[in-house]
Amino acid sequence: MGYARPELLVEPDWLIDHLDDPGVRVIDCAVFEAYRRAHIPGAVHLPVHYYLKESGPPGTDHGTFVMPPAEFEALMGRLGVSNDTLVVPYDDNNALLAARMWWVLNYYGHTKVRVLNGGWHRWLTEGRPITFHAARPAPATFVARPNPDLIADAEYLKAHIGDPSCQILDARTDEEWNGTNDRGNRRVGRVPGAKHLEWLNFVEKGDLRRFLPAEEIDRLLAEAGFSRDRTTITYCQGGIRAAHAAFAMSLVGFDNIRVYDGSMRDWANRDDTPLTLE
């Protein structure tokens, strides 16, 4: 497929040959009901809200920012993931949640992670083995080592609006971009200077749901106005689609990508952040 970093993905044939490898941990990032119905043999289920966010205020689904280090360490330990484990996440939503898992692991210093290309849809379409038996791995020890170069907060984004060495990617839908869908935020709009490229554009529309070939991803990014010689900040509503966009850009060789983890859940509900619809 011509990717600059093909090692960020794993194909089903490779995974079939490594399902019993004790150094590989397959993580199903879908909701528990889907996992309980069927999943890849040996896969463990992510037993928390799959966005991997901090615990939110009472009555909310999830928090605004990434899960804290100690909480993430405990979670990985329960899933049998150590700092030496090769993690293969997948989901049933165009790699959205698997890419979020990839980003959080990378943010916490764990680069041994490869997203299953095509995820559950491809696995099922190609007739690969499935099971309903839950996997129960032995506990492991995981040490989180945050990498501040992979994350942006509101202050960082504000400081780089208008910076010619920086580009901002808005991975939301057209309706969020143009302000007709407020997602429950107090304000609508987009970050001044941001360019729009919805995350779904990076994935095939057919049953296999693979990432597009590198040539097509490169074309989409170039047409949207993105270049490799700039730092990129990605955002969406809650940092999930932003992580997916960061993954796709990394796949084709972009460097210096930061995910604004709070995204519009943070930005559009503050009083000190600029928004525009122009």
Is 143 domain-assigned?
A: no
Question: What is the model's pLDDT at position 47?
Answer: 77
The tally of domains found in the chain comes to 2
Is 11 domain-assigned?
A: yes
Domain with residue 24: its CATH number is 3.40.250.10
Run of H or E residues at 222: helix 214-224
Residue 61 has pLDDT above 90, yes or no: no
For 4-46, what is each residue's pLDDT tens digit? 999 999 999 999 999 999 999 999 999 999 999 999 999 999 9
Query: How many other CB atoms sit within 10 Å of the CB of residue 164?
Result: 7
Is 138 domain-assigned?
A: no
Tokens 């009901």 belong to 33
Mean pLDDT for the chain overall? 95
Strand partners, 66: 53
Question: What is the model's pLDDT at position 237?
Answer: 96
Identify the domain containing residue 206 by its residue range. Answer: 148-267
CA dist., res. 138 & res. 52, Å (int): 21
Is 164 domain-assigned?
A: yes
For 65-112, what is each residue's pLDDT tens digit? 999 999 999 999 999 999 999 999 999 999 999 999 999 999 999 999
Question: What is the model's pLDDT at position 54?
Answer: 82
**C-alpha torsion angle, residues 8, 9, 14, 19 (rounded to 10):** 80
CA dist., res. 52 & res. 153, Å (int): 17
Strand partners, 257: 232
Geometric angle at alpha carbon 3, from 42 and 170, rounded to 5°? 90
DSSP 8-state code for residue 20: T
Residue 50 has pLDDT above 60, yes or no: no
Helix, strand or coil, per DSSP, at residue 131: strand
CA dist., res. 258 & res. 100, Å (int): 13
Is 135 domain-assigned?
A: no
Is 115 domain-assigned?
A: yes
Question: What is the model's pLDDT at position 226?
Answer: 98
